[in-house]
Amino acid sequence: MFHKALWMRNQKLASPAVWAVYLSLFFLLPFTMFGDAQSLHSQLEKFPQDEAYLSYSFQGMTTGLFLSIVLIGFAALLIGLERSTHSTDLTFSLPFKRKDIYLSKWMFGVVHITTALLVNLLLCMLVVRFTFLSEIGVDPSFLMKFMILIIPYAIAIFTFCMFIGTISGSIVSQFILSSIFLFFPIGFFSLLGTFLMYHGIGVDMVHDINSSLNSFGDFMIIATLPAPIFEFSYYTDAMQLNSVANDYTRMPSYLVLLSPLIYLAVTFPLGIWLFNRTKNENNGRLLVFEKGKGFFSVGVIVCFALAFGMIGGGLFGTYDTPSLIGYYISAAIGGVLSYAVLRKLMNMRFKLSR
């Protein structure tokens, strides 16, 4: 349900992130594309038309990476900032259900994210149509494919970061945990694949999500929300001006769109459920819920143990024969160190003045 008062409060909390979404996408997409067009036109002026080799490429990695960082900050300002300044008491005292408060934050973010992407991608199409890019054969339809890919992924990333905000106790912990868990699958499955390899079990880590999805590496990439955006690319080249261009779009299989839908189906209702049960007395701490600290601690210790084991096994062995003893000794050291650091972090409070 839409409430103007909640919308205005969200605008006050997250206005820096709103500006960051629009401006970052503007500079990353149409502004950069216009600069590339001007650069290619200047390049043509330096060489005769029959000798100029003109090419243009678009990579999804830059846009996907910067957008992910901005979306993490967007969600952190909407939820984590109130926890760090202890203004959740004021928010929850308003005559609205907690479910409506959470939904208003989510809707506020989704509206601005979708609008920013649509506006800037449409501007990109105009840049392609009315600049030098059209003369070298750049096909603006690749932007439609990119739009189909990035919008559901952007909404899923934002929803996931909102969900992390329901379990973290401050803006700092929400930003850090969102950054970690957003890329957690690719890191964890890489560590797991290394662990299996050290024990003589071969795992296919090679991925190619542009065709059949049938390897461990494909699953690892699909499970990591921003990764399929990084895989998108477009390339075109024309040997001469107004000649037939050779273009190629590297577009992940449309089956990867199941990934953001699954993330949405899980984290959206779970975020509402947890937000209704928020513990304000733990605001400022790493985690809000006491019951989740044990599970979280075990997960962190296991991951650090696997990471230290991977490093130690290679350090004390050779490329062909990694050291299994070195792996377990390093894993034990990593587990003990992470346990000691985690105990201190769990008891710290991250506060910001009102």
pLDDT tens, position by position, 336-348: 998 888 888 777 7
Question: In this predicted structure, what is the pLDDT of residue 8?
Answer: 86
Q: pLDDT category, 317, cuts 50, 70, 90?
A: low
Neighbours of 200 (CB within 10 A): 7
SS (H, E, C) 209-278: CCCCCCCHHHHHHHCCCCHHHHHCEEEEEECCCCCCCEEEEECCCHHHHHHHHHHHHHHHHHHHHHHCCC
102 vs 268: CA distance, rounded Å: 10
| Whether residue 215 has pLDDT greater than 60 | yes
> Does the pLDDT at position 210 exceed 70?
no
Contact indicator for 154, 71 with CB cutoff of 8 Å = yes
C-alpha to C-alpha distances, 14 to 9, 21, 105, 106, 109, nearest whole angstrom: 9, 11, 10, 12, 9
Contacts of 46 (CB under 8 A, 6+ apart): none
Instruction: Decide: residue 51, CB within 10 A, 0-12 exposed, 13-18 middle, 19+ buried.
Output: exposed
Burial class (CB in 10 A: 0-12, 13-18, 19+), 4: exposed
Specify whether the CB–CB gap between 158 and 174 falls below 8 A: no
Q: Report the pLDDT value the prediction gives residue 242, as an integer from 0 to 100.
A: 55
| pTM for the predicted model, two decimal places | 0.89
Comparing 25-39, 149-163, 296-310, the range with the smallest average pLDDT is: 296-310
Q: Which two tokens stand for residue 213?
A: 């999805």
Residue 138 main-chain phi, psi, to 5 deg: -70, 125
Domain ranges of the chain: 4-183+224-279, 289-354
Cα–Cα distances in Å, from 24 out to 174, 252, 254, 298, 348? 21, 24, 26, 37, 33
Helices (DSSP H) in the chain: which residue ranges? 4-26, 32-46, 60-75, 81-84, 88-93, 98-130, 141-167, 171-182, 184-198, 216-222, 227-231, 258-275, 293-315, 324-347
* Between 166 and 310, the higher pLDDT residue: 166
Q: Quick check: 76 and 178 in contact, CB under 8 A? A: yes
Closest CA to 282 of 353, 347, 352: 347
3-state secondary structure of 57: strand
User: Higher-confidence residue: 96 or 28?
Assistant: 28
Supply 248's token pair. 């190629």
Cα gap 172→286, rounded to integer Å: 8
Check residue 266 and give its pLDDT: 95
DSSP 50: T
Q: Across residues 15-26, what is the average pLDDT? A: 91
More confident site: 353 or 173? 173
- Structure confidence at residue 279 (pLDDT): 75
Provide mean pLDDT across the span 4-24: 87
Residues 55-112 have pLDDT tens digits of 888 999 989 999 999 999 999 999 988 887 777 777 777 788 889 989 999 999 999 9
Position 30 confidence tier, pLDDT thresholds 50, 70, 90: very high
Burial 293-331 (b: 16+ CB within 10 A, else e): beebbeebbbbbbbbbbbbbbbeebeeeebbeebbebbb
CA distances to 40, 43, 49, 243 from 46, rounded to whole Å, are 10, 5, 9, 18
Q: Is 254 left (phi over 0), alpha (psi -120 to 50) or beta?
A: alpha
